Homo-oligomer: A and B are copies of this chain.
Amino acid sequence: MNSERKSSAESGRYAYRGLDRMLHEKARLGILTSLMANPEGLLFADLKTLCQLTDGNLSRHLQVLQEAGLVAIRKGGSGRHSQTLSVLTAEGRERFQAYLVVLEGIVQDAAASEKHRQQHQTESSRLATDWVSVRS
């Protein structure tokens, strides 16, 4: 069984190197999907509502995304009526789409595994008596 295990341990098979940590952060994922859905851009207040983020959190993540060149920030109006519009840049769209391909791969990997498991369901090796549970 050991050799069977080893043959399946293809180096880096599940490393998901393309899973860009800049985009993988939960709140930023929401921001980017919102902006994908609204290519004309979103006002700060609307983005906040869509993603259910606090002012501070949204500001912080938008700044990170802007510094990375993924989101462009535009200001309109003046004084008390000034508003902030966030727009996904072309680079942002490209990187997000590359990230989504990796995400889709994870979903497919897991779905294939689950299908295989259901076809070959066996508890044999899991219950092997030469393995003892350890507590953390």
Query: Which of these, B15, B85, B131, contacts A51 with CB under 8 Å?
Result: B15
Instruction: Report if A80 contacts B (CB, 8 A).
Output: no
Query: Which of these, B26, B106, B134, contacts A74 with CB under 8 Å?
Result: B134
Copies in the complex: 2
Q: A122 to B87, alpha carbons, bound, how many Å?
A: 13
A63 smallest CB distance to B (angstroms): 6
Question: Quick one: closest B residue to A24, CB to CB?
Answer: B26
Q: A17 to B51, alpha carbons, bound, how many Å?
A: 9
Q: How many of chain A's residues touch chain B, expressed as a range?
A: 35 or more
Instruction: Report if A55 contacts B (CB, 8 A).
Output: no
Query: Which of these, B5, B29, B74, B124, contacts A43 with CB under 8 Å?
Result: B5
Q: A89 to B14, alpha carbons, bound, how many Å?
A: 19
Question: What 1/0 flags go to A61-101 for Cβ under 8 Å of B?
Answer: 00100110000111111000000010100000000110010
> Which residues of B are found within 8 Å of A12, using beta-carbon distances?
49-52
Query: Which of these, B66, B74, B87, contacts A132 with CB under 8 Å?
Result: B74
A95 smallest CB distance to B (angstroms): 12
**4 more A-B contacts (CB under 8 A) besides A1-B40, A14-B51?**
A10-B49, A29-B106, A74-B132, A103-B107
